[in-house]
A and B are shown apart, each in its own frame.
Chain A
Amino acid sequence: EAGVVQSPRYKIIEKKQPVAFWCNPISGHNTLYWYLQNLGQGPELLIRYENEEAVDDSQLPKDRFSAERLKGVDSTLKIQPAELGDSAVYLCASSSGSSYNEQFFGPGTRLTVL
């Protein structure tokens, strides 16, 4: 069974440029998460989808961040415009919605904003 796939793995952009990250969850997983992981810290939830509905986006900075999950499968996270402080690893995870909610993580996209 394929795991969570993310692309690109690395991205370097200049500040004020837009950037997008893509995630393909494990087949059959209805729940999809985007996390932000700053250097030396644990991941922090940005947004959670149940199928195509964003059910928790309270931690997503909506002035510059947006996300979508069309058709309830793949998801895209976008930043426009990027700022220096956005340099981090962006992780995608998915789960099947079982009672204790084991989350399976992708390898992440490491963003560097110059």
Chain B
Amino acid sequence: AQSVTQLDSQVPVFEEAPVELRCNYSSSVSVYLFWYVQYPNQGLQLLLKYLSGSTLVESINGFEAEFNKSQTSFHLRKPSVHISDTAEYFCAVSEMDSSYKLIFGSGTRLLVRP
């Protein structure tokens, strides 16, 4: 069975500092990988996704994530965070042959301080 582990429940960081949010997954088949962001009182928004091809994927607001098959990881990084990046971040995985079924991690709260 698939599973997603986000070891860090909360990551505090100062503004303009770099950040990495860790995500590891477990699956016996090929997968798609996603990062969703949830701002307070809002629904989840897709931040970026890995489907195939280049293992490094980027979002429009400066986040990037790298698919590492050998380590079964999909860590999210940003070189310089803003106050507005404060939110809950969820890593998710789906099997390629049943892509409708998203399995989410427990989330990491990114808290950016001035």
Residues of A bordering B, CB below 8 Å:
3-4, 9, 31, 33, 40-45, 48, 56, 91, 93, 95, 99-108
Contacts and interface: CB of A to CB of B under 8 A. Distances in A.
A24 to B, nearest CB: 13
B100 A95 contact: yes
Contacts of B94: 101
B43 A107 contact: yes
Contacts, number: 55
Closest 6 A/B residue pairs (Cβ): A42-B104, A105-B43, A105-B44, A101-B99, A107-B43, A106-B43
Interface in B77-95: 90, 92, 94
Q: Is the interface of B mostly helix, strand, loop or mixed?
A: strand
A82 to B, nearest CB: 22
A107 B104 contact: no
Interface residues of B, number: 23
Interface of B: 4, 9, 32, 36, 41-46, 49, 51, 90, 92, 94, 99-102, 104-107
Contacts of B99: 99-101
A40 B106 contact: yes
Contacts of B101: 45, 48, 56
A101 B101 CA distance: 9
Contact of A44 (B9, B41, B49, B104): B104
B9 A40 contact: yes
Nearest to A4: B43
A40 B106 CA distance: 7
B15 to A, nearest CB: 25
A108 B43 contact: yes
